[in-house]
Structures are given as structure tokens and as C-alpha cells.
A and B are shown apart, each in its own frame.
Chain A
């Protein structure tokens, strides 16, 4: 086959099926096996979070100390407790399901906070330019100058530990990432011919921003948003693990569940392995979808395979 033939073949292969960018991207996404695995993992995570009270065999706080063996060692997985019980005789499977609720809720809220404020600041900076741009972006530079988790720890130290505080902290850490991303994207969109065309027919600045520039910049935000969900779940667990999460130690948050079990590694390793594996499943799911989306939305990456 000649180069021209190969190219025409590829073009025919990738011809838009008559839909928009999103329609096309959706098609490419469902043909991508890794993205599908990602969607399955995330679906499992979301189903666990939503239907926890229905699926769970017991309540997340139900203790049964009589299950413990001599020396307070919890028994391992069995038919009655498929993932074993913890140090207070609570069913680990139940607590993992309820833990999904916390992770999902905190991740969604904190990414939404970071994303919306970041988008607002980034679009203001990118579209208005000048002094507004440099003020906002210098502020973002300062926020990025402090390594993410340390920044979050500083915020939690200020607000005090707790669930709501963690959401705020992770949200704030996400702001400069989205602001920078959107500003960069808008700056490149602004030079496009369709923006010039809209300007020349007299569309107002705000109209251009909302109906021409933002819709075209949004794909990078969607990709980053998915990947930010993965990072947020890890960060939530990390703050929980450091003891900055929910202050009630009975809260079934995955990171918090990993805190106290280190001294029982020898006797009951599953107490550490199971919450950790749950985190990996959720994070891997979002990472796979994010990667798949990036490939589906980026025409340059598409051809590289």
C-alpha cells in the first residue's frame, strides 16, 4: 500500500459517524478496552456507594466482640464475613461498602469545588488578559509553589480535622491546576478563526466566551476532572491515613481504616490489604477512564496507538 492509500484508509476508518466531537469521542471510548475496564471499576465503586445499605449484610457500626479470637485477634474471611471482621468485630465488607460513600462524596465535592473556582479564575484570566490575568496567575503560581499534600495539610491544620475540612482542602489544592489548564486552553482558542469571525459580526465578548471559547476548551477540563477524581480519592485516603480525616474513629473511611491496623499486620493482614485494594480499584478506574478520554478527545494521540 502506498502512503496515500494508507492515509485514505485511515481517514475512512476514522470518518466521523455524523455526530459532534463528543459523539465521536464516545464511540472511540467504548471501543477502547482499557477505558471499558475503567468504566466497570468505577461503576462497581459507584454502585457500592449508592446501594451500600441494601447490599451490606450488617450495619457499618455493628460490633460483635464475641467473634474475636483469643488476644483480640479478629478471624479472617469466612462464609459469614466474606472479607473478615475488624478489631471490634465489625464486618469489613460492610465497612468497605460504606467507605465508598465517603470517598465518592468527598472526591466529587472537592473536585467540583476546585473545578468550578478554577474554571472561573482561568477563564477570567485567559479572556480578560492584562492585569487581571497576571494577578490571578501569580496567585496560582504561589499556590502551586507549595507541594499539594503539604498545602492540604496546612489547610486542615487551620480548619481542624474532619470530613468537610478535607473536602475544602483538596478542593483548594485543585483550583490552580484547573485555572492554569483552562487559561492555557482559552489563550490558544482565542486565536482561532471562528473567534475572529464572531468578533467581526459583533458578538459581545461575554457571548464569545460562553458560546465559542468555553465549549471548545471544556474537553481538557473533562479529562483533567476525571484524573483529578483519582487523585482526590488518594488524597482523601492519605489525609485519613494521617489521622486528619473524620475524627470519629468508627467512621468507615478507607484511609482511616488503614491507620490503626499496622500493628496487626502479622496477625490480620487483610485488615490493611482490603481497604487498600478498594482504594486501588477506585483510583485505577478513574485513571483508566481519564486516559481513555484523553486518547478519545485528542486527535493527535489517536493515531499513535
Chain B
């Protein structure tokens, strides 16, 4: 197991170097010189000169790459946002928890609804419920996230006024945020009315962002349960007289969950992409809406740092998914 983990970690090195190279050349391909595009409208000759020295922009290109690597990796310096005049690192610290909280809520919604739906669809294979679930999941993967988000906002916020439509928390609430995960913060500070408000703000964005994972998880669970149901060990369990519920729980569901766990991990990339759209519709102050604004402000330091950061997160999440899969399923390790 340890050898597998070490091997996978070593494989990460070329990928991360590749991503950094890609972003390094991306900055150079942006309109204007790298120093000017990273500084934006603040680009006074003195600042440009200071930037050129910091990143060694007058040196040969490979030296430039190494100083870029040094500033980002060793000094954790991703530059300063043109729009907010704050460092990109400090903004990530504030905004990343917002996106993680939203993505987490979306995954909880998708998993806790998708697994039972898929399971019962497979149990009633070919029936009305099964067909309904299949059609629903096809619709789920075909509705663009931002359209679903707009629909939810229209019905639940504008028309029926049940749930708030923008932000993470009511503007009139003055709560402490030690971790920036608002749900966690409210629990730590035992502020239950704030917790309720935060959860109400989470519901609509989480449903919008969770719609595609929900459809995928439902379909995979259904297919997986159908496969497992015909295995010999399930037949054996039934033959020795175990009650159907015990067979379902111990033999069918437990084995069927194996592929589902991978699928859940694979949705992370989609969640990060989807966050840009969901956060834009619901004015959610996370990484996604931040990157979207950065495009319009030509805030290249933010784009560069944000995309690099999310790519690194994505790569590591995929690694964790692969490793946990290898733990659950020993056959993977040796192939």
C-alpha cells in the first residue's frame, strides 16, 4: 500500500510541474507584457520595474520560470489583486472555504438522494419508478447548471419567497467567522439562529450545483446494484435464508458502493467548473464568482493564482480518491 501511495505521489510531480509551466506560458501569452498584465491599471513604470526584477523578467526564459516557481511555491506569493488590492493568497483563504462548503453541501445532496434513488430504481427494475428515475437523471445531466440555478431562484426566492437568493449569510447578521466555513463557525460559536440562516442560504446553490452529480450517482448506483444483484454471493446469501433486508444491506449495497465511491470523487472537477456558474447566479462569494469577476476586471494575478490553486486542489483530490479506492478494492493496487 505504501509503495502505491509513494508511486502515485511521485507521478504528481511531473503533472504539477506541467500545470505550472502551462500557466507560466499562459501569463506570457496574455495581451500586454507579463508585468503589465499582472499589475493591471496600477502599472506605473516604477511598479513595472519592481515586478520585472522580482520575477526576473529581463533574464532568459528558463531563469524566469525558476523565479516564478520560487515565488509561487516557496514564498506562497501569487501576486496582488488589481480589483481588491489584497494579496491573492489572502483572498483564497477567505473564498476557498466558501466554495468548499458549497461543493460539500452539493455532494451531500447528490449522494444522500442519488444512492437511494438508484438503489430503489434497480430494485424495481423496468418498473414505473425505474423509468421515471432514468428520465429524471437524463434531464438532470442535460439541464445547464446556470439555467437550473435561475429557475430555482425564480421559483423559491422570487415567486414563493421561501429561501434567500444571494450570498452566504443575511447581511444584517454580524457573526464571527474563525474558520470561514460558515456552518462550522455557527456550530463552534453555538449561534443556532445564524446556523439556520447559513443553511437556508446554502440550499438553492447546493441543489443547483449538485444536480449533475445527483444524476450521475443515481445512474451509476442503479447499474451497479443491477450488476451486484446477480452475483453468486448474493444468491448464496439469499439461499441460506437471510432476510432480504440484510442481503440488501450487507451484500448488495456494500459491494455496489465500490464504483459509486470513485464516481463521487470524479465529480470534483465538475463541481469546481460548476461553482463558477452557480456562484455567479447566487452571488456566492467563493472562488468561482471571484474568477468570473477577474476576467472582466482583467485581474490576471487572480486568474493565474486561482486557476493554479484549483488545479492543485483537483489533482490532490483525484489522488486521494485513487488511494481510497485502492484501500477499498485491493485488486487495483497490483494492476
B-binding residues in A (CB < 8 A): 34, 138-139, 141-143, 145-150, 153-154, 156-158, 160, 230, 234, 237-238, 241-244, 255, 258, 262, 265-266, 269, 272-273, 276, 279-280, 283-284, 287-288, 291, 304-305
Contact assessment for A280 and B26 in the assembled complex, using a CB-CB cutoff below 8 Å: no
**Contact of B142 with A by CB under 8 A:** yes
List of B residues within 8 angstroms of A255 by Cβ: 144, 146
B24 to chain A, nearest CB (A): 12
A73 to chain B, nearest CB (A): 15
Pairs across A and B, CB under 8 Å, 20 listed:
A142-B22, A143-B22, A145-B15, A146-B311, A148-B270, A148-B273, A149-B276, A150-B272, A156-B295, A157-B295, A158-B26, A158-B30, A237-B146, A241-B144, A262-B150, A269-B154, A276-B151, A280-B143, A284-B142, A305-B126
Which B residue's beta carbon lies closest to that of A234?
A: B144
Pick from A146, A287, A304: contact of B142, CB below 8 A: A287
Give the tally of cross-chain contacts (CB within 8 A): 135
Interface size class of B (residues with CB under 8 A): 35 or more
Bitwise interface map of B from 135 to 154 toward A, beta carbon under 8 Å scored 1, else 0: 00011011111110011011
List of B residues within 8 angstroms of A141 by Cβ: 14-15, 18
List of B residues within 8 angstroms of A287 by Cβ: 138, 141-142
B104 to chain A, nearest CB (A): 17
Which A residue's beta carbon lies closest to that of B314?
A: A147
Contact assessment for B18 and A145 in the assembled complex, using a CB-CB cutoff below 8 Å: yes
A271 to chain B, nearest CB (A): 10
Contact assessment for A243 and B150 in the assembled complex, using a CB-CB cutoff below 8 Å: no
The 7 closest A-B pairs by CB, nearest first: A142-B18, A149-B273, A276-B147, A284-B142, A147-B272, A283-B142, A147-B269
A141 to B12: give the CA distance in the assembly, Å: 10
Contact assessment for A304 and B226 in the assembled complex, using a CB-CB cutoff below 8 Å: yes
A259 to B142: give the CA distance in the assembly, Å: 19
List of B residues within 8 angstroms of A146 by Cβ: 19, 22, 307, 310-311, 314
A210 to chain B, nearest CB (A): 31
A153 to B300: give the CA distance in the assembly, Å: 12
With A272-B154, A284-B142 given, is the CB distance from A154 to B273 under 8 Å?
no
**Contact of B29 with A by CB under 8 A:** yes
